[in-house]
Amino acid sequence: MQLGAIRDFMSTHYLHFNARELVEAAKAYEAHIEKGGKMLVAIAGAMSTGELGISLARMIRAGKVHAISCTGANLEEDVFNLVAGREYEIISSWRDLSAADDLRLCEKGMNRVTDTCIPETVMRHIEGCLLEAWKRASAMGERKLPSEFMSEILGDPELRRHFHDGTTNSWLLAAKESGVPVYVPGWEDSTTGNIFTASVMLGNLPDHSCVKSGTEQFQSLIEWYEESHGAGETPSVGFFQVGGGIAGDFAICAVPCIIQDLRREVPHWDYFCQVTDARPSYGGYSGASANEKISWGKLLPTAPRFEINSDATIVTPLIFSWVLGD
């Protein structure tokens, strides 16, 4: 097969250490999909603000991602960027900022994520759209996942007027169009989760019931896994983890829950790759080795396993580009 320019460069130069593992992980991802397997992608960190959507949206539309587990920040920041990305302020000299500089940004209504400042105005714009969606659901006795509410407002003609030219780079919009489920554990730890809590406390919503809980999201994920895993010669579902934290551990626990707690037979995850800068010596999940997951019944020793200790904003788009044939 003729290589694309990125694949050709990686094949030529990425021969050892983390670079070699990156290529091997990309090849195994590609092989998993070609055999008919499905892939869940878990996203932690500030990857949406880091523009992961440029490559992730393409992966979704190409049928190479079949479910997503992400933090509340990644869910909402994809939409913030879609609506107001042109209004973001980039501070290339962010390392030189003082506490007084950050206070001035706060007073200007600019929320900083390393070198990128997100305007408070877009958060308030999204707040208005979501509040109306939450009110409608509450009035009708409907209950939805946090991601379903966010996907719903993407169809709002008034909000769509504000979409900038980069609509193809919104991974949530791609997921909505492609029917890819999105699970958001710990959604309350996000701007929109905070806004929802405040809306209930202010009496703008009758109670918390219109947004499904984390355990209900977990049940939905388990049901998706049981419907999606392969059989016979078809691989089971693969697991590609960007960063660590709750987005990863929430999703990967679906398999041991089915086998150990529900006492049902399902195949284990059939591929695992994690891109992280965390180290195993601190005892956290984010740096836990792939082999450690075998002890918890999350993986089997037969599954291809890759651990790339590097910057996910650099590595993940390269892997996705390889899989896309770039």
Show the domains of the chain with their CATH numbers: 5-79+130-324 (3.40.910.10)
pLDDT tens profile 251-297: 999 999 999 999 999 999 999 999 998 877 677 777 788 999 999 99
Global confidence as pTM: 0.96
pLDDT in the model for residue 278:
83
Q: Are 120 and 111 in contact (CB under 8 A)?
A: yes
Supply angle C-alpha 236, 238, 243, rounded to 5. 160
Helix (H) or strand (E) holding 307: strand 305-309
Q: What are phi and psi of 306, to 5 degrees?
A: -135, 135
**High-pLDDT (> 90) share of the chain, %:** 90
Q: How confident is the model at residue 324 (pLDDT cuts 50, 70, 90)?
A: very high
pLDDT score for 165: 65
**Mean pLDDT of all residues in the chain?**
95
CA atoms within 13 A on the CB side of 9: 8
The tokens for 41 are 């992608």
Compute the distance between CA of residue 173 and CA of residue 161 in angstroms, rounded to an integer.
15
β-bridge partners, 90: 116
Beta bridge partner(s), residue 212? none
